[in-house]
Structure 1
Amino acid sequence: MAGRVGLTADRLVRAGAELADEIGFEHVTLSELARRFDVKVASLYSHLRNSQDLKTRIALSCLEELADRAADALAGRSGKDALGAYADVFRDYARQHPGRYTATRFPLDTETALASAGVRHARMTRAVLRAYGLAEPEQTHAVRMLGSVFHGYVSLERAGGFSHGPPDSQESWERIIDALDALLRDWPTP
């Protein structure tokens, strides 16, 4: 089949990420990917072990892509400016690439997670928090809080949870960043 020419694991992962944006990450399978390339599923097995392997590779690729965007957004920023820019990266990525964003939430085993760009995300979050002077273990609590707020808001917004009345979700987003900044500046001590 002509579609087989040029297949590589990287090309399949890129196509899988595009497919995730089109049909949803949860629907990405080797069968769907084979249809995209007009090949039999068996031809993909020389590049990918199974659908789990494909999804893991897509997740790793999307985590890297998101980390690169976050690093660019954080360059030269600190404090509330960095906090807002960092938060916006997640929200914008979810809007532009809904399937890829979902892929960044895909569960990875510990070894894979520790070798992924997820570690970069944690370091960048801690870099944002430097301006707030939080020491451990409070810094870890703050990292978890920010992740929960960013991802929770994005998930609710994507599900249409804020589209039924005023105020506009952008206004709420900005107020949440203001509130997070105030909380981080006056972090409660145990």
Structure 2
Amino acid sequence: MRRRIEAVWRIEAPRLIGSLARTLRDFGLAEEVAQDALVAALETWPSKGVPERPGAWLLTTARRRAIDILRHATLATRKHELLEHEMSDWPQSDADPTHSDNEFGDDLLRLIFIACHPVLSTDARVALTLRVLGGLTTPEIARAFLVPEATVAQRIVRAKKMLADKQVPFELPPKAELGPCLASALEVVYLIFNEGYAATSGEDWM
């Protein structure tokens, strides 16, 4: 069952984090509540079974967790009100679709551009992309690039902090910035592809 849940997570995580980040406007919080939803799935699904729409279940669980966190955050009044307003349009049933495929596609595209934003170092962009879009764990990323786990963890934490400090919006880049942002994203794709290709000659394959 755990492997099945992890397989679902690998597929759903990018869409989940993308949707949450668009609503919350907080990349770190989006990943946090997404991880909380995964923990809830690991605790619930083995006894109750995998839902018919696991992605919708994870998204609903993560949104509820976000509301709980924001309700207890004294400095998050505006975000809480925004999220409560958006929640009025959210379906109450986990089985109902919450986004169209086009909306999920837009969220994923936004997530790619923010994870590969030029304000981040190359190493940070690669680590963050593999984490939020590839669904890899910190140990898996560390093994792939032959660096200590602590180094990868620091890169991811610093990347999130940089995005927050620079107030990088969770939006598609404006036309004037599209060139550099696209080049940054393509560089990350190239580096990940090269590393994955090289790994096929060893014991690990990314």
Q: What TM-score results when the alignment is normalised by the length of structure 2?
A: 0.26
